[in-house]
C-alpha cells in the first residue's frame, strides 16, 4: 500500500512528503521527477515542445507504473487529478491525502517559480492560481481519503496531522499496510 499526496503546487507535497516518507519508512517518489526522467526533458521543455496533453499522457503512464508498487509515498503533480484514470489508480492503490493552503499562502510559497509553465497562458499569476485551484478543488476532494490544511502551520505540525489521520483511518482499513509507528 502507498501513501499519496495530492494538491495544488505550493501546498507542501514535496516538503511534507520527504518528512513523512522518512518517518513512515516509505520510499519517497516524486512523480514529476519520474515524468521528466521518462521523457528525458524537464517539465517546461515537455510542455513547450509537445503540449500539456502530452505531459498528461506521460503522467498517466507514470501513475500506472508507480501505483503498481507498494511501500511508497507518492508526491504527485498538482494536475494529476485532471484524469479520472489517475484518480481511480491512486485511490485503488493507496491512501490519498489532499494537502490544501490558501491562495495567498500558495503565492507566498511558490513566488516566481519558473519550474512550471503557465496553465492558462494569458492570466496574471495570481488570477491563474485562483482560477485553476477553484477548477480543481472538486476533483481534489473527490480523490482524497482525507484533507490536511497546511496554511500557517509548520511542516512538522502537518506531518503530525497526517500521521494522526492515518491512525484514525487505520481502524477502517483504508491504509492497510502503512506502518505508522511513531
Candidate CATH numbers 3.90.1150.10, 3.40.50.300, 3.40.50.620, 3.40.50.970; the one for domain 2-170: 3.40.50.300
pLDDT tens digits, one per residue of 24-46: 999 999 999 999 999 999 999 99
- C-alpha grid cell for residue 23? 518517518
Contacts of 164 (CB under 8 A, 6+ apart): none
**The whole model's pTM is what?**
0.88
Q: What is the mean pLDDT of residues 49-53?
A: 94
The pLDDT, as a whole number, for residue 65 is 97
Give the highest mean pLDDT range of 13-17, 107-111, 126-130: 13-17
3-state secondary structure of 147: strand
- Rounded-to-integer distance, Cα 126 and Cα 12, Å: 18
- C-alpha grid cell for residue 53? 496533453
Residue 175, Cα to own-chain centre: how many angstroms? 17
- Rounded-to-integer distance, Cα 4 and Cα 71, Å: 11
pLDDT tens digits, one per residue of 137-164: 999 999 999 999 999 999 999 999 999 9
Contacts of 168 (CB under 8 A, 6+ apart): none
- Rounded-to-integer distance, Cα 59 and Cα 83, Å: 10
Among the listed residues 103, 59, 73, 64, the one whose alpha carbon sits nearest the alpha carbon of residue 13:
73
The pLDDT confidence band at residue 128, using thresholds 50, 70 and 90, is: confident
Amino acid at each position: 500500500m502507498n501513501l499519496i499526496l495530492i494538491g495544488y503546487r505550493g501546498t507542501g507535497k514535496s516538503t511534507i512528503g520527504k518528512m513523512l516518507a522518512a518517518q513512515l519508512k516509505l520510499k519517497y517518489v516524486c512523480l514529476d521527477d519520474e515524468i521528466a526522467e521518462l521523457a528525458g526533458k524537464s517539465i517546461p521543455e515537455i510542455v513547450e515542445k509537445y503540449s500539456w496533453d502530452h505531459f498528461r499522457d506521460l503522467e498517466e503512464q507514470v501513475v500506472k507504473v508507480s501505483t503498481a508498487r507498494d511501500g511508497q509515498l507518492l508526491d504527485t503533480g498538482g494536475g494529476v487529478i485532471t484524469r479520472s484514470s489517475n484518480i481511480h489508480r491512486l485511490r485503488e492503490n493507496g491512501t490519498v491525502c489532499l494537502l490544501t493552503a490558501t491562495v495567498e499562502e500558495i503565492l507566498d510559497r511558490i513566488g516566481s517559480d519558473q519550474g512550471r509553465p503557465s496553465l492558462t497562458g494569458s492570466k496574471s499569476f495570481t488570477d491563474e492560481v485562483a482560477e485553476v485551484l477553484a477548477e480543481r478543488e472538486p476533483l481534489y476532494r473527490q480523490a482524497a481519503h482525507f484533507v490536511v490544511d497546511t496554511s500557517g502551520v509548520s511542516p512538522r505540525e502537518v506531518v503530525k496531522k497526517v500521521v494522526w489521520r492515518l491512525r484514525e483511518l487505520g481502524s477502517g482499513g483504508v491504509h492497510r499496510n502503512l506502518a505508522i509507528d511513531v
